[in-house]
């Protein structure tokens, strides 16, 4: 008789070998958490109870109001579970690894930061899917016993699942930030989310008929997942791993996708595609202009290997705020062009030029903090510094608007053009009326933009020198590996310390 294997050996066989390690680990942990078990049991109980009530109401006949109320409760329960509880679990996904000190241990294995983040997300959405699948039988029963529209239910549930998994990705991306940062991001997403959810619960019947532009919304949600997971992996990346370039390349592709979708859309839905670029630009600006350069010659090797073109690409894609400025300007130019072509196609050419100018002003508003942030090198929380400068600029814009209160004058045109954020706000609010002295405003704004760029170039001189030194080190390394004695590592010349 053979002895039974120990219980731990049996648990090893629960997950197949081909499953990613992080997914296995997260599922093992996640399925045991009180939040998942509680949500699962509560949702099942709610479904059974609601179905029971619905059956009773149908048997008694003519209790339409009760059925309507029950239906409302059901959707509130689903929304809270899928759009609040499940995504919120992502908030701890990375912070628990960094706080617990386990992230170093994981990084020393064969798992890259992208794999870690992607599989964590996969584990969380697997649990969401488990909840959704467990709800399906009730939706079918509601069709037979409650006369509900199954197609509507499935469609609504499908959209909510997609939104839920996008929100989960966003929560994972904010997970490495401090608690305040996480709460701010949640507030930014949560408030419009609450309004949209309330709107859905109140006006469910209109959902399928006059719903949102499906393709562009689906693109937005998928783009949000991609960018959020890339961002999260960037923040987890090991010293030799270049998460910044990956993030920037993906952002450029997503931007190009938006432009393509916008220009290909036959009707006004195209503007939705183009407007999706705004959050992408904001995230790109915040992330790229707040990050320090990576002091790791290995990161520069792939660029240096490609010669002059590689080094030129590096000026936009190297980690660090210096290249981040050109990266954001490049994205801004794409945004301005998309605006121009879309408006030129659907509206008048004059409007197209004006929208393109406003888009450039918006980009300059995003870039502006890079001209000031180097003056505060000891400020540790660079993201907060960036946000703080933007908030101050916005308050200046609001103050100027309040001070002039619609009175057009040379003074208002000069003052509003002094900083990019007020200039943009002014352009959007004044709508390019003929009565406003636009030439003065534009001249002022252009001069201000040039000064900002000059300041940025001046402040970045040390950083550029260091980048050149790292490029030289990378070049040394490449040469060392191509020489016959490749086993000997190259002796690195130190980069200048700023």
User: Does position 88 bind another protein by CB under 8 A?
Assistant: no
Q: Give the residue from 271, 276, 278, 371 showing the smallest Cα distance to 321.
A: 371
Which one, 272 or 301, has the nearer CB to another protein? 301
User: Does position 29 bind another protein by CB under 8 A?
Assistant: yes
Contact code string over 287-326 relative to another protein, x by CB under 8 A: --------xxxx----------------------------
User: Does position 110 bind another protein by CB under 8 A?
Assistant: yes
Region from 24-32, 121-129, 384-392, 439-447 binding another protein, contact rule CB under 8 A: 24-32
Alpha-carbon distances, residue 276 vs 16, 449, 475 (angstroms): 40, 25, 40
User: Nearest distance from residue 301's CB to another protein, in Å?
Assistant: 8
3 state DSSP class of 118: helix
Which one, 109 or 198, has the nearer CB to another protein? 109
User: Does position 21 bind another protein by CB under 8 A?
Assistant: yes
User: Does position 28 bind another protein by CB under 8 A?
Assistant: yes
Does an H or E element contain 332, and which? helix 321-346
User: Does position 483 bind another protein by CB under 8 A?
Assistant: no
User: Does position 492 bind another protein by CB under 8 A?
Assistant: yes
Contact 95, 176 (CB under 8 A): yes
User: Does position 487 bind another protein by CB under 8 A?
Assistant: yes
Alpha-carbon distances, residue 358 vs 21, 192, 335, 418, 445 (angstroms): 48, 25, 10, 15, 11
User: Does position 496 bind another protein by CB under 8 A?
Assistant: no
User: Nearest distance from residue 149's CB to another protein, in Å?
Assistant: 40
Region from 81-89, 92-100, 139-147, 397-405 binding another protein, contact rule CB under 8 A: 92-100
User: Does position 479 bind another protein by CB under 8 A?
Assistant: no
Could you tell me how many residues make up the chain? 498
User: Does position 17 bind another protein by CB under 8 A?
Assistant: yes
Annotate 22-75 with DSSP letters as a single string: HHHHHHHHHTTSHHHHHHHHHHHHHHHHHHHHHHHHHHH---HHHHHHHHHHHH
Region from 98-106, 121-129, 419-427, 434-442 binding another protein, contact rule CB under 8 A: 98-106
How many residues belong to the site for another protein (CB under 8 A)? 48
Query: What are the φ/ψ torsions at residue 267 (nearest 5 degrees)?
Result: -115, -160
Instruction: Give the one residue of 1, 4, 8, 439 binding another protein; rule: CB under 8 A.
Output: 8
Both structure tokens of 58:
């149908």
Close Cβ partners of 334 (under 8 Å, ≥ 6 residues apart): 252, 255, 256, 259, 277
User: Does position 375 bind another protein by CB under 8 A?
Assistant: no
Question: CA–CA separation, 25 vs 243, rounded Å?
Answer: 24
Alpha-carbon distances, residue 265 vs 41, 216, 262 (angstroms): 44, 10, 5
Q: What is the contact surface with another protein in residues (CB under 8 A)?
A: 6-9, 11-12, 17, 21-22, 24-25, 28-30, 32-33, 96-97, 100-111, 238-240, 295-298, 378, 380, 477, 487-492, 494, 497
């Amino acid at each position: 008789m053979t002895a039974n294997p120990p219980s731990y050996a049996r648990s090893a066989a629960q997950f197949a070998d081909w499953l990613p390690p992080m997914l296995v680990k997260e599922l093992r942990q996640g399925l045991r958490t009180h939040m998942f078990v509680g949500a699962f049991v509560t949702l099942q109980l709610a479904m059974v109870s609601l179905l029971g009530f619905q059956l009773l109401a149908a048997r008694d006949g003519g209790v339409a109001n009760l059925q309507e109320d029950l239906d409302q409760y059901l959707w509130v329960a689903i929304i809270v579970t899928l759009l609040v509880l499940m995504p919120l679990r992502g908030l701890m996904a990375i912070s628990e690894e960094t706080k617990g000190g386990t992230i170093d241990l994981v990084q020393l294995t064969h798992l890259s930061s992208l794999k870690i983040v992607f599989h964590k997300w996969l584990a969380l959405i697997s649990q969401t899917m488990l909840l959704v699948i467990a709800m399906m039988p009730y939706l079918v029963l509601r069709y037979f016993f409650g006369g509900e529209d199954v197609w509507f239910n499935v469609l609504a549930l499908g959209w909510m699942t997609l939104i839920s998994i996008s929100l989960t990705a966003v929560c994972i991306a904010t997970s490495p930030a401090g608690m305040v940062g996480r709460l701010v991001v949640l507030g930014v997403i949560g408030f419009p989310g609450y309004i949209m959810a309330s709107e859905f619960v109140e006006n469910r019947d209109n959902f399928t008929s006059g719903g949102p532009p499906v393709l562009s919304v689906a693109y937005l949600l998928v783009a949000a997942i991609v960018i959020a997971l890339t961002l999260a992996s960037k923040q987890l990346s090991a010293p030799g791993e270049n998460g910044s370039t990956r993030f920037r390349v993906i952002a450029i592709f997503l931007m190009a996708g938006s432009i393509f979708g916008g220009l290909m859309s036959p009707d006004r839905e195209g503007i939705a595609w183009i407007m999706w670029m705004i959050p992408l630009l904001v995230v790109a600006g915040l992330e790229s202009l707040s990050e320090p350069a990576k002091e790791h010659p290995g990161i520069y090797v792939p660029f240096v290997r490609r010669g002059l073109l590689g080094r030129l690409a590096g000026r936009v894609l190297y980690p660090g705020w210096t290249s981040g400025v050109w990266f954001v300007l490049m994205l801004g130019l794409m945004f301005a062009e998309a605006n121009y072509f879309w408006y030129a196609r659907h509206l008048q050419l004059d409007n197209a030029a004006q929208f393109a100018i406003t888009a450039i002003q918006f980009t300059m508003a995003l870039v502006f903090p890079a001209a000031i942030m180097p003056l505060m090198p000891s400020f540790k929380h660079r993201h907060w510094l960036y946000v703080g400068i933007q908030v101050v600029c916005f308050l200046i814009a609001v103050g100027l608007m309040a001070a002039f209160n619609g009175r057009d004058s040379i003074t208002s045109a000069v003052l509003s053009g002094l900083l990019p954020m007020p200039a943009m706000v002014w352009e959007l609010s004044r709508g390019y009326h003929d009565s406003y002295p636009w030439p003065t405003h534009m001249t002022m704004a252009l001069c201000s933009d040039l000064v900002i760029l000059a300041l940025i170039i001046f402040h970045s001189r040390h950083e550029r020198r260091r980048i050149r030194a790292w490029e030289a080190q990378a070049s040394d390394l490449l040469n060392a590996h191509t020489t016959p004695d490749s086993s000997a590592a190259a002796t690195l010349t130190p980069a200048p310390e700023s």
